[in-house]
């Protein structure tokens, strides 16, 4: 029997509706959450991502401040802009679109963002809080989006073996940390495998929950999956489509094979992707709510 499809668009819609309700409550107090999105250069893919975030802000009633710096912007230019946004009371969250041009030190940019406005959860203070299980930081957008997908799909990680393929600072590491926390929606036994792991399939075949975030198109084949496992595909890759002569989007999982083995699976597109923006919007509102409480 083919796996149940976990509809990321539908679940992101639920999260967005919750966010919209929170925005309305803030409006009753005369407050509007604000998100600044910084783009350095004119990379077409980055422009698409930035514009999609600005549109989602407008949909949900969130103020957006779109800032574009030239491709030859200096570190001083970027740091001055971050300082300005840190001080702007209309801005509750700051996001710098990645990757920046090569002359920009991304780590320095992240470190310059006010941790209370770090809605991507890249600042070392928020990453540290995440690791030790504190809840007064932010939860990173894609990893937390995965946990929300599991929760709203009726999949409880508690007591299960979760295997994460990939050890990036953006997805793999924070997701593993979140899954192992002693908390609702977590409590899993977690294994992380990566490019340095010999015989990755030995571990993936033992996973009750398998999360692929390795950045290799269709890397996970059907014979690498335990029958009945839940498969979450974080990958977004473009590969040539001989049928159309154009590129098409695929994940890190060979969907046509995996769907015949798993009990539930996310598609690409339409799985984890919509959740990332939904959580970003939610984090921006959280930042505004916290600022009001601190006032």
**Pick the catalytic residue: 97, 116, 117, 233?**
97
Q: What is the pLDDT of residues 92-120, one digit of tens each?
A: 999 999 999 999 999 999 999 999 999 99
- Residue 198 shares a structural domain with residue 252: yes
Does 120 reside within a domain?
Answer: no
Cβ distance 270 to 9 under 8 Å? yes
Place of tokens 């083995």: 261
98 and 164 in a single domain? The answer is: no
Q: What is the DSSP letter of 202?
A: H
Which residues form the domain of 77? 29-115
Active site residue 53: yes
Mean pLDDT of the chain: 96
- Give the span between the Cα atoms of 268 and 255, in whole angstroms: 8
- Token pair listed for 172: 């793999």
| pLDDT confidence bin for 1, thresholds 50/70/90 | low
**Is residue 194 a part of any domain in this protein?**
yes
Claim: this prediction has a pTM higher than 0.85? yes
Identify whether 245 is part of a domain.
Answer: yes
Tokens read off for 68: 């574009």
The domain total for the chain is 2
Q: For residue 19, is it within any domain?
A: no
pLDDT of residue 33: 98
Give the H/E segment covering residue 193: strand 189-193
Give strand ranges (E) for the chain. 4-5, 34-40, 63-69, 93-96, 161-165, 189-193, 209-212, 230-233, 237-241, 246-250, 264-265
Tell me the C-alpha distance between 91 and 111, whole Å.
Answer: 17
The tokens of 229 are what?
């496992």
CATH of residue 87's domain is: 3.40.50.10860
CB distance 288 to 33 below 8 Å: yes
Q: Helix axis angle, 172-179 relative to 124-132, nearest 10°? A: 30
- Cα separation of 82 and 84, whole Å? 5
117 a catalytic residue: no
CB atoms within 10 A of CB 101: 14
Task: Map tokens 């946990």 to a residue.
Answer: 147
pLDDT value for 45 = 84
Same domain, 56 and 101: yes
Residues 176 and 260 occupy one common structural domain: yes
How many Cβ atoms sit within 10 Å of the Cβ of residue 100?
22
Are 65 and 178 found together in one domain?
A: no
Judge whether residue 295 has pLDDT over 80: no
Strands 246-250 and 237-241: antiparallel
According to the model, what pLDDT value does residue 38 have?
97
Tell me: do 187 and 240 sit in the same domain: yes
* pLDDT surpasses 80 at 59: yes
Please report whether residue 166 resides in a domain: yes
Whether residue 146 is found in the same domain as residue 266: yes
Catalytic residue, chosen from 120, 208, 233, 252, is: 120
Note the pLDDT of residue 66.
96
181 has catalytic annotation:
no
Which pair of structure tokens corresponds to residue 239? 């590969």
What pLDDT band is residue 174 in, cutting at 50, 70 and 90? very high
Calculate what percentage of the chain has a pLDDT beyond 70: 100
* 153 and 262, same domain (yes or no): yes
Q: Does any domain span residue 130?
A: no
Q: Which residue in 53, 117, 129, 160 is the catalytic one?
A: 53
Is residue 229's pLDDT more than 90?
yes
CATH code of the domain containing 187: 3.40.50.720
* Whole-number Å distance between alpha carbons of 29 and 244: 52
pLDDT band at 241 (very low <50, low <70, confident <90, very high): confident
Residues 268 and 146 in one domain: yes
Q: Give Cβ neighbours of residue 171 (< 8 Å, ≥ 6 apart).
A: 140, 142, 143, 213, 234
């Amino acid at each position: 029997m083919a796996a149940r499809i976990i509809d990321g668009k539908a679940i992101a819609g639920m999260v967005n509706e919750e966010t919209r309700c929170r925005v309305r409550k803030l409006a009753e107090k005369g407050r509007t959450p604000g998100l600044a999105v910084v783009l350095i250069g004119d990379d077409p893919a980055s422009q698409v991502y930035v514009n999609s975030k600005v549109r989602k802000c407008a949909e949900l009633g969130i103020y957006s401040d779109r800032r574009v710096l030239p491709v030859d912007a200096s570190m001083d230019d970027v740091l001055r802009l971050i300082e300005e946004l840190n001080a702007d009371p209309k801005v509750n969250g700051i996001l710098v679109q990645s990757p920046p041009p090569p002359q920009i030190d991304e780590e320095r940019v992240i470190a310059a963002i006010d941790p209370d406005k770090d809605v991507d959860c890249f600042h070392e203070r928020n990453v540290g809080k995440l690791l030790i299980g504190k809840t007064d930081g932010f939860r990173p957008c894609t990893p937390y989006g995965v946990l929300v997908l599991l929760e709203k799909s009726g999949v409880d990680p508690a007591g299960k073996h979760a295997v994460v393929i990939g050890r990036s600072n953006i997805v793999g590491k924070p997701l593993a940390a979140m899954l192992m926390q002693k908390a609702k929606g977590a409590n899993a036994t977690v294994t992380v495998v990566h490019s340095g792991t010999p015989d990755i399939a030995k571990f993936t075949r033992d996973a009750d929950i398998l999360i692929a975030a390795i950045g290799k198109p269709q890397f996970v084949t059907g014979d690498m999956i335990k029958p009945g496992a839940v498969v979450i595909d974080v990958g977004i890759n473009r590969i040539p489509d001989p049928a159309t002569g154009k590129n098409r989007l695929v994940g890190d999982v060979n969907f046509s094979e995996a769907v015949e083995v798993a009990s539930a699976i996310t598609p690409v597109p339409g799985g984890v992707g919509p959740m990332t923006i939904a959580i970003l919007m939610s984090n921006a509102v959280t930042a505004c709510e916290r600022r009001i409480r601190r006032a």
